[in-house]
Amino acid sequence: MSYFSISNVSKFYNDLPALLPFSLEMEQGEFLAIVGESGSGKSTLLKIMAGLEVQDAGEVFLEGQPILNPNQKIVSGYDEIRLIHQNFHLYPNSTVEENISRQLLHYEKKYAKSRVEHLLKLLGLTDFRDRFPRQLSGGQKQKVAIGKAMAVEPDILLLDEPFSSLDTIQTHRLISELKEIFSELGTTVIFVTHDLDDALRLTDNLIILQKGKVAQKGTSQQLCEKPKTKYVAQLFSPINKIPETKNSFVRPADVKLRTKGGLLGHVTDLRFLVHFNSLQIQLKESGVTWEVDDSQRKYVVGDRVYVSWNEEKIMTL
């Protein structure tokens, strides 16, 4: 049996499915991201994994031992599996240091002190140890929440949308810090998010969750280049249907723009984006409109342009 295993777990709320039989096997030290839109069952899944929610069917095992749900255990939850909520749950009247050390009240004093020092250093919070949560930035609060959860040396850390209250710059900075911290600690981490881009920055081990079901599992390259469904394909970019085919599609970035050779069209719209211009091109023969990336920012509205693509970039969906 694997280190952490979820076997056919399902959950309904008022007869509506939140999670359909979901199974997962993880090895120790693995770092997994689960990506799904709001309402896809991410928080429900994490709560069941942590023993904080009663499932309708299925079981969770850590190192072969069943994780008991709140109906089966007097005090819900486990020190071995810690869930970090998106709104941090910090003690507002305790300092950064106290927030972390309060987790260790039952531990030997000397050990607790050195553990807190270690975490403050690891998380870059040493200079902020005497501040209260209200005196911290969103990213710093998130790190205190992680420090709290890490204090008891959990085997598994579950992060529920940890970046939802941070801006893009803060998120990217925190992601690179967390990657280092988690790999240093060797903790098994499951992170859920609605944001595919955040997930891709953190790990290459992904599950796409759609309406309580696994839509696809794989590396970023597998999901991007070999999506099994249109839903998965469209998480990465818009897709363009190749005229006169039934189910062949190509991504905007894989379309080549030329002055001759391919399908003729003309630019009907242009959007200036961060790394490229996004063009709408209406194809002449089929009348279909494609979305393509003009990385050279070469074309303007009204231009005639030919589109072509490499056969190996075609996705069959």
Q: Where are the beta strands (DSSP E) in 135-247?
A: 156-160, 188-193, 206-210, 213-218, 240-241
Instruction: Find the binder of ligand ADP among 10, 40, 69, 216 (CB under 6 A).
Output: 40
Shortest Å distance, C-beta 291 to ligand ADP: 28
Q: Distances in Å between the alpha carbon of 2 and those of 17, 23, 26, 92, 175?
A: 27, 12, 6, 39, 27
Q: Which DSSP string corresponds to 128-145?
A: GTT--GGGS-HHHHHHHH
By a kind-dependent CB cut-off of 5 to 8 A, residue 36 interacts, out of ligand ADP, Mg ion, none, with ligand ADP
- Measure the CA–CA gap between 266 and 173, rounded to whole angstroms: 41
By a kind-dependent CB cut-off of 5 to 8 A, residue 44 interacts, out of Mg ion, ligand ADP, none, with ligand ADP
42 binding ligand ADP? (CB under 6 A): yes
By beta carbon distance, the residue nearest Mg ion is: 43
Nearer to ligand ADP (CB atom), residue 213 or residue 256? 213
By a kind-dependent CB cut-off of 5 to 8 A, residue 41 interacts, out of ligand ADP, Mg ion, none, with ligand ADP
Cβ-based neighbours of 259, under 8 Å, separated by 6 or more = 305, 306
Nearer to ligand ADP (CB atom), residue 42 or residue 141? 42
Nearer to ligand ADP (CB atom), residue 158 or residue 250? 158
Shortest Å distance, C-beta 46 to Mg ion: 8
Chain center to CA of 280: 30
33 binding ligand ADP? (CB under 6 A): no
Q: Which DSSP string corresponds to 211-260?
A: TTEEEEEE-HHHHHHS-SSHHHHHHHS--EEPTT-SSEEE-GGGEEEESS
- Measure the CA–CA gap between 136 and 150, rounded to whole angstroms: 19
Instruction: Find the binder of ligand ADP among 6, 9, 18, 175 (CB under 6 A).
Output: 18
Cβ-based neighbours of 153, under 8 Å, separated by 6 or more = 115
Nearer to ligand ADP (CB atom), residue 211 or residue 228? 211
Q: How many CB atoms lie within 10 A of CB 109?
A: 9
62 binding ligand ADP? (CB under 6 A): no
Nearer to ligand ADP (CB atom), residue 43 or residue 69? 43
Nearer to Mg ion (CB atom), residue 43 or residue 69? 43
Residue with tokens 């200079």: 127
Show the tokens assigned to 171: 């998120």
Q: Distances in Å between the alpha carbon of 172 and those of 32, 136, 139, 167?
A: 18, 18, 10, 9
43 binding Mg ion? (CB under 5 A): yes
Taking contact as CB under 5 A, which single stretch among the options 39-47, 196-204, 217-225, 276-284 is the one that binds Mg ion?
Answer: 39-47
By a kind-dependent CB cut-off of 5 to 8 A, residue 103 interacts, out of ligand ADP, Mg ion, none, with none
Show the tokens assigned to 194: 């609605």
43 binding ligand ADP? (CB under 6 A): yes
By a kind-dependent CB cut-off of 5 to 8 A, residue 259 interacts, out of ligand ADP, Mg ion, none, with none
Shortest Å distance, C-beta 150 to ligand ADP: 23
Taking contact as CB under 6 A, which single stretch among the options 38-46, 99-107, 173-181, 231-239 is the one that binds ligand ADP?
Answer: 38-46
Report which residue type is found at 183.
S
Under 8 Å between Cβ of 106 and 157: no
Shortest Å distance, C-beta 48 to Mg ion: 13
> What does DSSP assign to residue 108?
-
Binding region for ligand ADP (CB under 6 A): 13, 18, 36, 38-44
Binding region for Mg ion (CB under 5 A): 42-43
